[in-house]
Structure 1
Amino acid sequence: MRIGQLPLDEQLAALRAALSRNEVLMDVLDRAARLDLPGWYVTAGAVFQTVWNTVTDRPATAGIEDYDLFYFDAADLSWEAEDQVIHRAVPVFDGVPVEIRNEARVHLWYEAKFGVVCAPHTSTEDAIDSSAATTCCVGIRLEGTRWRVYAPHGLADVFNLVIRPNPVLAPREVYEAKTRRWQQEWPDLTVLPWPTSATPGS
């Protein structure tokens, strides 16, 4: 039986085991907790790609370009406030490529970058929900020794190497560009097509 077919509690245990193989990720999680950012999660490629590497028996960090750290602070939406957090984090992560973003600010720049209007996110979880693929909608953080895992679409696709589009915000070209790169790095992936009737933001 594949991991994606196991009961959810066993999938969660398998997720923790898989992620624990990536020593860089575990160090990022530990250091991120020290920053004490509101609503923070490590999310995106560093999480699901570590699982892919485990499933395909590759080195835990193979193909991972950076580590995404989301947080949510609606009290100050200025770039200056976000930039201060980014600079404060530089010595904390000691050279590890960590991309830090205040998800409360995304609506201020998203349309200019992607050509799609983004409604203001209401939380970090809301931001994770808008990832280009449902498979990417996984966030983790450490609360002491407890793992907090946010995975609104479950974990089966992650373990089964299935990429499923999530046409709620990101445009089709973003999904297709990402999946092309991922398939080059992880050729065992099954990429499901973007639905022809889907309109981002609808």
Structure 2
Amino acid sequence: MMEILESTKSLNLPDWWICAGFIRSKIWDVLHNFSERTTVPDIDVIYFDPINIDVLEEKKLEEKLKCLIPNIPWSVKNQARMHVKSNMPPYSSSVDAISKFPETATALGVKLDEKNNVILTAPCGISDVIHLEVKPTPYFTETKERAQIYKDRITKKNWKSTWNKIKVYHINSHY
């Protein structure tokens, strides 16, 4: 994980984070006493650069990361443009974007500071991820369309088949 963080830091991206499954899966693997880390489909690198929102820039950054660590499935996204793809109001920062991820257990980001200390952002807190609970972020409870996105992701991701101790909350559940 440190090699992935160090490689990403070397790009000097503005407001960068590695987020989502990179962190959540590691926490759940540890809490399930897995001896090996589960495979993550991709490593989500996000950053916030309103000056250059060209998707080709993201592909160039993915290629740079592939040169540093070739066997990693990199996914680089500029959050200054992702609101368009997601049909949402513009984000003000990468942390704002993370706060609007569908699940609280996924709304996490890590990066390295200038002294290579690991920094965590958790706009929805860490309680749910460490208590093995999957709940929608507040943003995904505001409209029927967003609630459906959450429901669809829960079905598609099927996390319980890998981490059987998690508890999935549905939109209509009372927390």
Per-residue deviation at 1:176?
Answer: 2.4
1:160 aligns with 2:135: no
Does 1:37 pair with 2:37? no
Match of 2:166 in 1: 189
Letter in 1 for 2:146: P
Task: Answer whether contact 1:68 1:98 (CA < 8 A) is retained.
Answer: yes
| Identical pairs, percent | 24
Gapped regions of structure 2 (runs ≥ 5): none
For residue 141 of structure 1, what is the amino acid of its counterpart? K
Mapped partners of 1:80, 1:152: distance in 2: 29
Which residue identity lines up with residue 161 of structure 2 in the other structure?
Answer: Q
CA distance in 1, matches of 2:125, 2:18: 17
1:145 equivalent among 116, 124, 144: 116
8 A contact 1:77–1:105 mirrored in 2: yes
CA contact (8 A) 1:140 1:147 kept: yes
Instruction: Indicate yes or no: 2:139 matched with 1:134.
Output: no
The CA deviation string for residues 4-52 of structure 1, in whole angstroms up to 9 with x for no partner, is xxxxxxxxxxxxxxxxxxxxx2221111111111111110011011000
Residue 5 of structure 2: SS of its match in structure 1?
helix
Encode CA deviations 1:95-132: one digit per residue, 9 max, x unaligned: 2112111111112322xxxxxx3111111001101110
CA distance in 1, matches of 2:57, 2:38: 33
Residue pair 2:128, 2:134 contacting (<8 A) in 1 also: yes
- Residue 96, structure 1, aligned to residue 67, structure 2: no
1:94 Cα deviation after fit? 1.8
- 1:139 maps to a residue whose letter is G
Is the CA contact (8 Å cut-off) linking 1:50 and 1:60 kept in structure 2?
A: no
Return the structure number with greater helix share: 1
| Number of aligned residues | 166
Contact between 2:102 and 2:137, CA under 8 Å: does it hold in 1?
yes
* TM-score, structure 1 normalization: 0.75
How many Å separate the matches in 2 of 1:63 and 1:84? 24
Name the SS for the 1:52 alignment partner: helix
Cα distance in 1, alignment partners of residues 26 and 153 from structure 2: 16
Residue 193 and residue 38 in structure 1: after superposition, are their counterparts in 2 closer, same or farther (change >3 A)? same
Could you tell me the TM-score, scaled by structure 2's length?
A: 0.86
Question: 1:178 offset after TM fit, Å?
Answer: 2.9
Shift of 1:84: 2.4
Aligned to 2:59: 83
Question: What is the Cα deviation at residue 54 of structure 1?
Answer: 0.1
Measured after TM superposition, the shift of residue 152 of structure 1 is: 1.7
Measure, in 2, the Cα distance between the counterparts of 1:90 and 1:138.
23
Query: Counterpart in 2 of 1:26?
Result: 2
